[in-house]
Amino acid sequence: MDLQLSGRVAVVTGASKGIGLAIAATLRAEGARVVAASRKLSPELAELVGDDLIHVPVDLMDPDAPGSVVRAAVDTFGGLDILVNNAGGPPPGITMPTFSFFDLDDENWRSVFEFNLFSTVRAVRAAIPAMLARGGGSIINISSTHARQPSAVNVDYGAAKAAMTNLGKALSDEFGPRGIRVNTVTPGPVRTPWWTDAGGAAEVFAAKVGMERDAVLDGTGAQMMNLTTGRLGEPQEIADVVALLASPRAASTTGADYIVDAGLLKTV
């Protein structure tokens, strides 16, 4: 299927690793021109940099950063068609998962909302005028199953992602008539550096339940998390859904929430 993304301009936040890297690589492979935002340029992202992909080094905790990323798209590629708000998870200096409401002070709550929600709010605020100038666009927000399945685990993150999912629906309603589609993708556990890095989620989780780190990442962890597929998701499996939602082939899909969670959520 031709996704008709050739020549379209996309911004992807959190694009140096994990899900964001897979999204940036996939959109570029489909012919889009990509602005990839993250604090650092990873070796994997550096391999993609060229005429059709630039890296913009920003810390999205800075309120001016989302606007500067959108400006880079307009200045470099002449406009903006696609915005993927992917950056999220633990903000700088915070380790996740957490396991109780009482693990969290005001600073935790503030920084988790700043990174996971407000950076998206600011990116959307900057992107919509640029998209309207081109007659429309597609915004995709990367949420989490924590938005739909509240629990004691990462309670601040779940609340921020629930707000993000809610925001996406509201935006789709307001801007759909003007040609901007807004959709949410809701991943379950995905094998990314957030899980696999030293000190990452797999190690924290393993220490909590008295397992080996590698067991969390293989079938045992999947069994404990009740994943019906028996394994964590892969970044490419999220990126492929994002690419379809970015595409004009999905012109009637807006205000939707696509769950890609390896069967974690058990409700309809």
Ligand X SMILES: NC(=O)c1ccc[n+]([C@@H]2O[C@H](COP(=O)([O-])OP(=O)(O)OC[C@H]3O[C@@H](n4cnc5c(N)ncnc54)[C@H](OP(=O)(O)O)[C@@H]3O)[C@@H](O)[C@H]2O)c1
Q: Does 39 bind ligand X (CB under 6 A)?
A: yes
Q: With respect to ligand X, which residue has the nearer C-beta, 14 or 137?
A: 14
Give the interface size with ligand X as a residue count (CB under 6 A). Answer: 28
**Annotated catalytic residue 157:** yes
Q: Does 88 bind ligand X (CB under 6 A)?
A: yes
Each residue 118-157 as x (binds ligand X by CB under 6 A) or -, in order, gives ------------------------x-x-------------
Query: Which of 3, 11, 14, 246 is the binder for ligand X (CB under 6 A)?
Result: 14
Residues from 189 through 208 that contact ligand X (CB under 6 A):
189-190, 192-195
Least separation in angstroms between residue 17's CB and ligand X is 4
Number of neighbours of residue 233 by Cβ within 10 angstroms: 21
Least separation in angstroms between residue 171's CB and ligand X is 17
In whole angstroms, give the CA distance from residue 207 to residue 213: 8
Active-site hit among 77, 113, 157, 205: 157
Instruction: Select the span of 18-26, 73-81, 132-140, 251-259 touching ligand X (CB under 6 A).
Output: 18-26
For residue 233, what are its two tokens? 């998701």
Least separation in angstroms between residue 153's CB and ligand X is 12
Instruction: Select the span of 55-63, 102-110, 205-213, 216-224 touching ligand X (CB under 6 A).
Output: 55-63
- Report strand pairing: 53-57 vs 33-38: parallel
Q: What is the DSSP string of 10-49?
A: EEEES-SSHHHHHHHHHHHHTT-EEEEEESS--HHHHTT-
Q: Does 61 bind ligand X (CB under 6 A)?
A: yes
Query: Which of 12, 56, 73, 87 is the binder for ligand X (CB under 6 A)?
Result: 87
Instruction: Select the span of 59-67, 104-112, 168-176, 211-219 touching ligand X (CB under 6 A).
Output: 59-67
Look up tokens 């301009």; give the residue.
9
Q: Please give the residue ranges that form the binding site for ligand X (CB under 6 A).
A: 14-20, 38-40, 58-61, 86-89, 92, 142, 144, 187, 189-190, 192-195
